[in-house]
Amino acid sequence: MAKKAEKAASNKTELKEDNDKINILTAEALAKEFKEHSVAEFFKKNMQMLGLYGKIRMLTTIVHEYVTNSLDACEEAGILPEIEVKIDELGPEYYLVTVKDNGPGLTKETIGKALGQLLAGTKFHRIIQMRGQQGIGASGCTMLSQMTTGKAIKVISGTGKGKAFACELAIDPKKNEPKIYNFKEVERDFRGLMVQARFKGVLYKESATGPLEYLRRTAIANPHAKIIFRSPKGEKIIFNRSTTYLPKIPKPMKPHPAGATVDDIITMAQATKAQKVSSFLKSEFDRMGDTAIENLQKLVNFDLNKDPKKLTWQEAETIINAFKQIKFIAPSTEGLIPIGEERIKKSLETIVQPEHVCTLTRPPKVYAGGYPFQVEIGIAYGGKAGILTQETEETQKSNANNAAAIDEQNQGAKVEIMRFANRAPLLFDAGNCAITKTVHDIDWKRYGVKDLENVPLTIFVNFISVHVPYTGAGKQAVADEDEIVEELRLAIMMCARKTSRYISAKRALIERKMKRDIFYRYIPEIADALSKITKKQKEHLINKLEWLVANKLKIDEKEEAKAVKKVDDEEGEDDEEAEEV
């Protein structure tokens, strides 16, 4: 027994020594394996983070990245956008995508960075309302093209004054640098930018998440843009602009103190050129005037004349707590450019063609980080609103005067939720988006909608901000920050209340028509019977009875109007209470 115990102890010691050797070797091996990687290499292995996965989704995302860049460039240059998108099928799951705009184009010095270097661009470092934010999308498409076909993209850029150039462009993933080939001057009067790229492993479908639907929604949210689309089938579809009003150029903005964090204060203080904390806060934050500084000094326990670079974490926390006690002016709206209620309405009427449209633009608010934002809502009901099948359209026509069909909300039509961020459509990741969640959290029965999933309703929601809190680099879902969700809820409720009035009025109108038709149907028979009893002329009795019916229905209209007003007043009070909360 003693020998067995001694042997077991010996084995245990040897095992421990072996493990120690393994650990030492592993640590040394790991040290040798440490390497730096470029951001291009990272995204090359994680293309799904850019939304570049799924055959249909990839093609739509490619169109999205190029079109949003074109729209941003045209608007910043003060040019009404005219964008051509062409998709050619080269083989099974193999397409050539060409996007051309009439914008300012790119220079020889910037074309490589714009289309061949990730995290390089004009957007990430500025707090400004733009469709793109990170400077990743277009370069990600360049990398996808060379990953799936081994080919560089082709580019032509020009100012329209005979100074155009063409080149081929690829990315060096190891260095995250552009590689430019076959650069040459082009003797032609070309204005704007044209990008042509090949992609394999993608698929074109005319579906709710395909390129055509993306461009349709882009046209709705950008009524000043003309978009021409040529499908792989050879079809040419034109979305004409419904207004020549060009959105104002957004201005870079400063963060609002109401949404600042302790880390924001510390990080910004280390980079500022200001010599005092007071001047640092006034120069780096929106709405920080002399009065705000005076109020702040009363609430903190240190001198605001100290060097901002010497601020401690505890002192920064004190500043943030003091910010919460100060009533700041609402954030500046100079950097936020909403579409506008009238333009949303006109655009929905032109493209969706509904029976009724209600639109609303909320005042600007602030969410965490000090970023101002606004919410725009449009609710379109009836007509071609919602997602309609041919069967549903036929049912709608046959039930046009049927109150029961109205009461059942035209079963068969599907609600359509159009999500936008800075006018750019969000077609994917709907279940993970604050917009979708908020729409479904609303008590729609209160607004005359018994079943939201089966109603001819298009709900348009545009979230605008200098910094959209996307849930991922694919930029397809808005994060459910508390302030954002509350604004979305209030906006949808207020717009839904106005829409409910139309639905109620339409239902009442159809019911009155049905009553009238029923009464009128039996008036001749009743008049005939009364004529025999009273010996009066039948025509005279018919006129009298028709007058009675018409008079009765007018009384009903007055009673309905009173009931609707009472409901509106109650809902208005509810909305005011919600605003106060």
Give the chain's domains with CATH numbers.
Answer: 44-239 (3.30.565.10), 257-323 (1.10.8.50)
- Look up the pTM and report it: 0.72
The pLDDT value recorded for residue 408 is: 43
Specify whether the CB–CB gap between 460 and 220 falls below 8 A.
yes
The listed range with the strongest mean pLDDT (51-55, 249-253, 335-339) is 335-339
Residue 335 predicted with pLDDT over 50: yes
Residue 462 predicted with pLDDT over 90: yes
The pLDDT value recorded for residue 565 is: 53
Nearest Cα to Cα of residue 449 among 476, 417, 400, 415: 415
Q: What is the mean pLDDT of residues 451-470?
A: 89
The pLDDT value recorded for residue 392 is: 45
Q: What is the mean pLDDT of residues 145-171?
A: 88
Confidence of residue 403 (pLDDT cuts 50, 70, 90): very low
User: Which range, of 27-31, 92-96, 295-299, 416-420, averages the lowest pLDDT?
Assistant: 27-31
**Dihedral over Cα of 345, 346, 347, 352: its sign:** positive
The pLDDT value recorded for residue 197 is: 94
Choose between 144 and 408: higher pLDDT: 144
Percent of the chain with pLDDT over 70: 76
The pLDDT value recorded for residue 257 is: 87
Confidence of residue 528 (pLDDT cuts 50, 70, 90): confident
Q: What is the mean pLDDT of residues 35-48?
A: 57
Percent of the chain with pLDDT over 90: 39
The pLDDT value recorded for residue 79 is: 93
Gap between the Cα atoms of 108 and 97, Å rounded = 22
The pLDDT value recorded for residue 217 is: 93
Spell out the SS3 assignment of 234-254: CCEEEECCCCCCCCCCCCCCC
Residue 441 predicted with pLDDT over 50: yes
The pLDDT value recorded for residue 199 is: 94
Residue 343 predicted with pLDDT over 60: yes
Q: What is the mean pLDDT of residues 19-43?
A: 57
Choose between 107 and 156: higher pLDDT: 156
Rg of the chain, C-alpha, whole Å: 32
Q: In 3-state terms, what secondary structure has residue 542?
A: helix
Q: What is the mean pLDDT of residues 331-351?
A: 87
Q: What is the mean pLDDT of residues 183-187?
A: 84
Residue 32 predicted with pLDDT over 90: no
Nearest Cα to Cα of residue 563 among 502, 497, 493, 504: 504
The alpha carbon torsion through 334, 339, 340, 344 (nearest 10 deg) reads -170
Confidence of residue 127 (pLDDT cuts 50, 70, 90): low
Confidence of residue 558 (pLDDT cuts 50, 70, 90): low
The pLDDT value recorded for residue 15 is: 54
Q: Say which amino acid occupies 164.
A: A
